[in-house]
């Protein structure tokens, strides 16, 4: 009944486990080096604690440079996780169809006795299944490394942050899949997904520099489910869930509809 899903789930296991292993390895490395890292950060803060540096970056900037384990974890690991999110969402869904074309198996796919939209949905479900492993790994390594160090961290903050990460994986992946159904070509699909998703990452990264020109960061999905927003709301902001979720659903429905209806010359 879900033959396509099970077949691709088994075939894509290596690609699926690499991102969680990257997160586990990176956070584990931070945890191992945290004692010496914390000492270095405290020394730097002591050096920066002078009127000139305070005038340049302000008291909030000095106090928020990762002197605590929780702050350091989200500051350093959070940036790496966003980069991983960027690459996973662009490269995997955008190639779900183009790989069939590259391997000359696209005509076999078209001959399967199931609707085209269902075929695509089952392949995308494989991406979502392995994407679910990523937040599970995040929760495990964050809480595990915290216990190992004897430090403290908000469990609810970790859980909400990881859930928001999965919602972003779904929505950004849906956008990438939409590019795949429109172009059906590896290079064009990756280029389009790179522009749409990479552009949002750029807007979020450059939000501080672009602040004088307008509130452009609201156009970036990477701006949603931030640690600050979760801490302020005490949960995932409902409005942000609605915005990101609706965008993801619209992109996925559009991709399924386009793929089901279009004509193929294979």
Contact between 184 and 101 under an 8 Å Cβ cutoff? The reply is yes
Sign for the CA dihedral angle at 159, 163, 164, 168 comes to: positive
Residues 227 and 158: their CA atoms lie apart, in Å, by 9
CA–CA distance, 79 with 59 (Å, rounded to integer) = 22
pLDDT score recorded for residue 107: 76
Q: How confident is the model at residue 38 (pLDDT cuts 50, 70, 90)?
A: confident
* 241-249: long-range pairs with CB below 8 Å, 24+: 241/167, 244/167, 244/168, 244/171, 245/167, 245/171, 247/171, 247/174, 247/175, 247/221, 248/167, 248/170, 248/171, 248/172, 248/173, 248/174, 248/175, 249/174
Q: What is the pLDDT of residues 137-153, one digit of tens each?
A: 999 999 999 999 999 99
pLDDT tens digits along 165-175: 999 999 999 99
| Per-domain residue ranges of the chain | 3-31+68-261
Please give the average per-residue pLDDT across 210-234, as a whole number. Answer: 79
Reported pTM: 0.88
Q: Where are the alpha helices (DSSP H) in the chain?
A: 3-11, 13-48, 51-63, 69-72, 78-91, 98-102, 106-110, 116-149, 155-183, 186-205, 227-233, 238-261
**Hey, how many other C-beta atoms are within 10 angstroms of the C-beta on 20?**
21
């Amino acid at each position: 009944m879900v033959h396509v899903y099970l077949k691709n789930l088994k075939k894509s296991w290596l690609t699926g486990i690499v991102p969680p292993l990257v997160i586990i390895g990176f956070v584990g490395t931070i945890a191992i080096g945290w004692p010496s890292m914390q000492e270095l950060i405290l020394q730097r803060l002591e050096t920066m604690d002078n009127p000139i540096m305070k005038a340049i970056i302000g008291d909030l900037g000095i106090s928020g440079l990762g002197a605590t384990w929780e702050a350091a974890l989200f500051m350093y690991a959070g940036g790496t996780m966003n980069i991983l999110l960027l690459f996973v969402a662009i490269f995997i869904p955008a190639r779900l169809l183009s790989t069939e074309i590259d391997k000359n198996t696209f005509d076999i796919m078209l001959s399967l006795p199931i609707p085209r939209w269902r075929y695509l949905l089952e392949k995308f479900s494989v991406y979502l299944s392995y994407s679910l492993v990523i937040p599970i790994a995040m929760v495990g390594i964050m809480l595990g490394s915290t216990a190992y160090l004897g430090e403290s961290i908000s469990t609810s903050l970790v859980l909400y942050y990881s859930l928001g990460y999965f919602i972003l994986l779904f929505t950004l992946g849906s956008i990438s899949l939409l590019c795949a159904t429109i172009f059906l070509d590896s290079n064009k699909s990756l280029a389009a997904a790179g522009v749409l998703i990479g552009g949002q990452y750029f807007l979020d990264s450059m939000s501080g520099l672009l602040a004088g020109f307008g509130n452009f960061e609201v156009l970036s999905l990477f701006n949603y489910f931030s640690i600050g927003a979760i801490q302020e709301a005490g949960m995932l902001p409902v409005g942000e869930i609605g915005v990101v979720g609706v965008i993801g659903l619209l992109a996925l429905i559009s991709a399924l509809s386009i793929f089901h209806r279009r004509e193929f010359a294979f």
